[in-house]
């Protein structure tokens, strides 16, 4: 595969490890319209029932805080230790990141520098979360 298909070498390596959707405990996919703050970007997202939720992406130490009611885990199931996030950039390259799950929050919070800076530049409009 050509490096031109991926945002960076990390994305190329991780893409081979992204689980199939049928094997995921957490699978979310959103179309995004970002609002840009000084140190974060936010987007309103709608769940299956049409309820509006919020996504916040910030730079900083990598991690994700999941919003519990967006994930439909069965009783007794635990959250996976990490989540894969992928998006296709406007230039058609694929960005993939593997983030540790660092807890639950009232919002879906993602801490990752490249996702933040590319969102500020308007380089992607959707995101997929698998784990």
How many CB atoms neighbour CB 20 within 10 A? 8
- Per 3-state DSSP, the chain is made up of helix, strand and coil in percentages (nearest 5) of 20, 40, 40
Considering Cα of 122, then 80, then 45, then 56, what sign does the dihedral take?
negative
**Rounded mean pLDDT, 29-54:** 86
- Cα atoms in the 13 Å half-sphere on the side-chain side of 45: 25
Q: E-assigned strands of 22-125?
A: 27-31, 34-36, 40-46, 52-58, 63-66, 82-88, 94-104, 108-111
Q: Is the pLDDT of residue 89 over 80?
A: yes
Q: What are phi and psi for residue 121, nearest 5 degrees? A: -85, 0
Q: Is the pLDDT of residue 92 over 90?
A: yes
Q: Is the pLDDT of residue 78 over 50?
A: yes
pLDDT tens-digit readout, 109-122: 999 999 999 999 99
Number of domains in the chain: 1
Q: Is the pLDDT of residue 1 over 60?
A: no
Structural domain including 54 reads 3-130
Residues 6+ apart with CB under 8 A from 32: 43, 45, 55, 119, 124, 125, 126, 127
| Rounded percentage of the chain residues whose pLDDT exceeds 90 | 64
């Amino acid at each position: 595969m050509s490096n031109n298909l991926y945002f960076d070498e990390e994305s190329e390596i991780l893409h081979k490890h992204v689980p199939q959707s049928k094997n995921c405990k957490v699978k979310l996919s959103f179309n995004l319209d970002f609002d840009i703050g000084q140190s974060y970007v936010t987007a309103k997202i709608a769940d299956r029932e049409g309820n509006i939720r919020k996504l916040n992406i910030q730079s900083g130490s990598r991690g994700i805080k999941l919003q519990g009611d967006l994930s439909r885990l069965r009783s007794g199931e635990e959250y996976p230790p990490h989540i894969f996030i992928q998006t296709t950039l406007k230039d058609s390259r694929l960005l993939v990141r593997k983030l540790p799950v660092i807890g639950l929050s009232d919002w879906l919070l993602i801490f990752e520098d490249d996702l933040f800076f590319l969102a500020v530049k308007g380089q992607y409009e959707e995101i997929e979360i698998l784990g």
